[in-house]
Amino acid sequence: MCLAIPARIEELIVPCNAIVDLGGVRKEISLALVEDVVVGDYVIVHVGYALQKLDQEEALRTLELFAEMGALAELRAELGESAT
């Protein structure tokens, strides 16, 4: 299964690259596949590449869902249940 996650552009660096915030972790990604990205924009990131720009509201909603899934997985682990 492949997973692409929303990330906020923190800094534009060398041509076609940026630093993004992935849940508090700063990572360099490629912007080669997207256009007109500025600091503060949200993009969908997969294996180090921004695939497309994302509306801030949608990005925040998606990140909230990921956080809820993580909390559920932690609760299941505490209860000794499998994640399936």
Distance CA 34, CA 23 (A): 21
Q: Residue 45 has what pLDDT?
A: 93
Over its length of 84 residues, how does the chain's per-residue pLDDT go in tens digits? 567 889 999 999 988 999 998 878 899 999 999 999 999 999 999 999 999 999 999 988 988 888 888 776 777 777 776 555
Domain with residues 5-79, CATH architecture: Roll (2.30)
Structure token pair of residue 36: 């007109």
Domain ranges (residues) in the chain: 5-79
Residue 25 in 3-state DSSP?
strand
Tell me, what's the pLDDT at 21? 87
Q: What is the reported pLDDT for 25? A: 87
Query: CA quadruple 59, 62, 66, 68: dihedral positive or negative?
Result: positive
- Please tell me whether the overall predicted TM-score, pTM, comes out greater than 0.85 for this model: no
In the numeric block, the tokens 């929303």 are attached to 6
Q: Could you tell me the two tokens for 47?
A: 């294996």
